[in-house]
Amino acid sequence: MASTTSGEILTTLKARIEALTPAVKASPDDRYQVVVGLRAAFAGNRQVLLTAQPGRRIQGGRTCSDWETVVLVECWYLDHPDAYVNACNDSEQICNESYDWVASTEGETLGLLRAEPDLANIVGSDGELQVSRSVRFVYRGLS
């Protein structure tokens, strides 16, 4: 049976988000810029930061190898007239990607069982919009 870790989930989710093409792009090179860990200096829109809690075994799970981790997906946008709409659309696209990933052969190979995204929170200040969304992943972990 396949198993994974929270670190592998972060690394693979980063690659999957970077491979997405945003529905609305300001320019041909307007892509998601993803960093795992601490926020780095970016230029432009669609700055994505991924962090996660180290996984933990689920008490009372289906099996003793069911684990969970919560990944925080934070995106930043320079404030402009379409920024809010882009932020909403991008957040839904990334959320949908987490569902698709779990249902894919790659997700099955990694041992992913479920993705449970929370509602997104959008705040703005200092010329930026920030979108935060937690995604709980249930997976086949270390036994």
Is residue 134 assigned to a domain? yes
Is residue 127 assigned to a domain? yes
Flag residues of the chain having pLDDT under 70.
1-2, 26, 28, 39-44, 61-64, 143
Is residue 132 assigned to a domain? yes
Note the pTM of the prediction, 2 decimals: 0.87
Beta-strand runs (E) in 32-120: 33-36, 47-52, 56-57, 66-78, 112-117
Is residue 1 assigned to a domain? no
Other Cβ atoms within 10 Å of 26 Cβ, number: 14
Tokens (6 digits) for 83: 């920024």
Return the pLDDT at 23.
Answer: 77
DSSP state letters, 54-77: PPEEPTT-SSTTEEEEEEEEEEEE
Is residue 128 assigned to a domain? yes
Q: Which residues pair with 137 in a beta bridge?
A: 69, 115
For 5, the 3-state DSSP assignment is coil
Please answer whether residues 97 and 21 qualify as being in contact, where contact means their C-beta atoms are separated by less than 8 angstroms: no
Tokens (6 digits) for 54: 């180290």
Domain span at residue 49? 6-140
Name the DSSP letter for residue 29.
Answer: T
Is residue 114 assigned to a domain? yes
| CATH number of the domain to which 23 belongs | 3.30.2000.30
CA dihedral defined by 110, 116, 129, 6, rounded to 10 degrees?
-30
Is residue 97 assigned to a domain? yes
The total domain count for the chain is 1
Is residue 48 assigned to a domain? yes
